[in-house]
Amino acid sequence: MKREYFGTDGIRGTVGQAPITPDFVLRLAHAVGQVLRKTEARPVVLIGKDTRISGYMLESALESGFNSAGVDVVLLGPLPTPGVAYLTRAQRASLGVVISASHNVFEDNGIKFFSAQGTKLSEAWELEVEAALKLAPQWAQSAGLGKTRRLDDAAGRYIEFCKSTFATDLTLKGLKIVVDAAHGAAYQIAPKVFHELGADVIAIGCAPDGLNINHQVGATHPEALVAAVKEHKADFGVALDGDADRLQMVDAQGRLYNGDELLYLMADERLGRGEALPGVVGTLMTNMAVELALKSRGVDLVRAKVGDRYVLEAMEARGWILGGEGSGHLLALDKHTTGDGLISALQVLQACVRAGKSMADLLAGVTLFPQTLLNVRLRPGADWQANAALKEQTLAVEQELGQSGRVLIRASGTEPLVRVMVEARDPAQALHCAQRIADTLQ
């Protein structure tokens, strides 16, 4: 069966357009409640959200839908997505629900779910929910309706959890850190985490008004962080996205570091402490320079499909603890069950503090390969995978690049496009090779 509503990270769309409407969200919660009731007499669900104005409306709809199915609800208020995952596990709840569209504009919103263990749920579970959506509602009798309460100090509990992942023998005292929360879910939490670990914190992107989430700030607009780090002569800059599961960082010189580089720093710190690290999971887009640097340290890199869900699946299949994407979704399963921008930032800062070095110093031997990405629009009905000229030219480019580059060709999931990516040490060679391959498709 194919999923109708769920995508790679829950259900997402424009508010007021199907499926992100209050009537659908109420039915969704009721359907999820029916699924939970199959194995639990009185399920308890936690609901957190980011700072979008539509969160109020969708929270009310979820609450009603769950209560109508005989499910108790605990409201957490604004809280990062990984914070909901943590509290679901810590509170022994049946399910965690997040109202967020992550790095999207405020007009969008979405619903995503976490299991009782604080992990992403399987596609099989999502299909079961979609099947329940097609059934007539089964309203609970009045005496069996669910109740709702708020969890006191949900933010404070999550702050303490984040701090517990930072080495107790280290401190951030003496460091000036700019923290950009994208006017999102971590606007109160992120500055406090770094401050309570000793840092001098300058907060930007921490004044949400319901309409400004991710607007010219945060991990998707790091230029605001770069400017603030330079202005305040800070040692580090940390940028999160709207739901705080994505991370970008900046050093004292204003240089931006992406998720691939930060993932290597997390791996390097563990190796430096003598930890066994058989492998790290990246994606099809992970920069080859990171792969080669890890290989030189005796660490394998396995590439999963793009999407933190697929990175996590590959990690769990191998029993590995580190993985991530260049976009800044980073996972450290020895610290948390899901990707967490705050905890990942603390892991990178821990590496720098322990070594007494900057990010640039720790990455001195890792120079990212230039990547050229070309989008080729296909003619209607064109079968690019059967294109003999494409296969011939791709093979020729791969032979030319040898061990100092690679080719990735994949179809867009949303448009009639083929994406051609070539990575090489020489940017001119990458561009020339990508153009040669793209020409065979046109």
| Average of per-residue pLDDT across 66-74 | 98
| Average of per-residue pLDDT across 153-160 | 98
Share of the chain above pLDDT 90, in %: 93
Give yes or no for residue 383 having a pLDDT over 90.
no
pLDDT tens digits for 163-173?
999 999 999 99
Domain boundaries of the chain, sorted by first residue: 11-152, 157-255, 257-340+351-362, 371-439
Q: What pLDDT score was predicted for residue 142?
A: 97
CA distance 426 to 436: 16
pTM for the structure as a whole:
0.93
For domain 371-439, which CATH number applies: 3.30.70.2860, 3.30.310.50, 3.30.465.10, 2.40.30.10? Answer: 3.30.310.50
Q: What pLDDT score was predicted for residue 309?
A: 86
| Set 64, 102, 327, 344: catalytic member | 102
pLDDT tens digits for 357-369?
999 999 998 999 9
The domains spanning 11-152 and 371-439 adopt the same CATH topology: no
pLDDT tens digits for 327-359?
999 999 999 999 999 999 999 999 999 999 999
For domain 257-340+351-362, which CATH number applies: 3.40.50.12160, 3.40.120.10, 3.30.565.10, 3.40.50.360? Answer: 3.40.120.10
Domain 157-255 has CATH 3.20.20.70: no
- How are beta strands 371-377 and 417-424 bridged, if at all? antiparallel
Query: What length does the chain have?
Result: 442
- How are beta strands 256-257 and 279-283 bridged, if at all? unpaired
Residue 73 in tokens: 């609800």
CATH class label, 11-152: alpha beta
Give yes or no for residue 415 having a pLDDT over 90.
no
What's the mean per-residue pLDDT of the chain? 96
Higher pLDDT pick, 48 / 411? 48
Give yes or no for residue 412 having a pLDDT over 80.
no
Give yes or no for residue 185 having a pLDDT over 90.
yes
| Average of per-residue pLDDT across 80-108 | 97
327 classed as catalytic: no
